[in-house]
Amino acid sequence: MICVIDYGVGNLFSVEKALLQFSSDVKVTSSKEEIEKADKLVLPGVGDFGECMSNLEATGLIPTIMKKLEEGTPLLGICVGLQIMFEGSEENPSAKGLGIFKGMVRKINAPELKVPHMGWNSLDFSEPRLPLYDGLNEHPYVYFVHSYHAVPEDKSIITATTEYGETLTAAVAKDNIMATQFHPEKSGDVGLKILQNFIEM
C-alpha cells in the first residue's frame, strides 16, 4: 500500500490521482495504523513552512513516520514536503523542521526575476543519477511553485538542481528518503515517470 499522508496541506488528491495510474493500492490517509502498514509513503506539502509543520505535529504522526523511515520504508516528499525535512526555514524562523537532513531552507535570491519561482524549468541531475529519474532525458522540464529552497549542509544529498537567479536545490535523497521541490503530479509525462519509478522501486 502507498500512503499519501494527509495532514491538511498539499495537493493530496492530485498526487493520489497521478499515483493511481501506476498502482491501484493508493490511499490518502491520516491513520497511524494505515501508515504503519504502508509499503511506501508520500509526504506532500503546499504553502507555508510553519503551517505545514504545525499541522503535521497536530496529527501526532511524526513518531510513526520517523519509525517507518528508520525501518527503511521509501518516502517521497513533494514541495514543502521536502522543505520540512530540513532543520528550519527563513520563512518561519521560530518553526523547527523534522531535521531528517541538516541544513536550512533559504529565500530564493533572484533580484532580477519574479519570486515566487513559478512555472516550468529544466533540471540538472547529479551523478550518479538516482533511479528515481530513470527513463528521463538529460534536462527534463518540471513544474515549480516556490519562494524558498533547501540548502543542505551535505551537498551529496542533492540529486537535481535548477537555475533561477542562482542554483536552486530541486531534489534531494539519501537511502530510502527522496524529495522533490518541484511537483511531479503537475509535471506532465516527466512527473508521471518519476512517480512510476518511485512506485516500482
**Comparing C-alpha atoms, which of 125, 166, 167, 116 is closest to residue 144?**
116
The tens digit of pLDDT for each residue in 141-190 reads 999 999 999 999 999 999 999 999 999 999 999 999 999 999 999 999 99
Q: What is the dihedral of CA 95, 98, 100, 106, to 10 degrees?
A: -30
Number of structural domains the chain divides into: 1
Q: How confident is the model at residue 60 (pLDDT cuts 50, 70, 90)?
A: very high
Whole domain around residue 82: which residue ranges? 2-200
Phi, psi of 64 (to 5 degrees): -65, -45
- Domain of 125: which CATH number? 3.40.50.880
What is the β-pairing status of strands 158-163 and 124-125? Answer: antiparallel
Q: What is the pLDDT of residue 99?
A: 97
Cβ pair 19, 2 in contact under 8 A: yes
Q: How confident is the model at residue 8 (pLDDT cuts 50, 70, 90)?
A: confident
Q: What is the pLDDT of residue 195?
A: 98
Q: Which residues contact 139 (CB under 8 A, 6 or more apart)?
A: 122, 123, 124
User: Which residues have a catalytic role annotated?
Assistant: 79, 183, 185
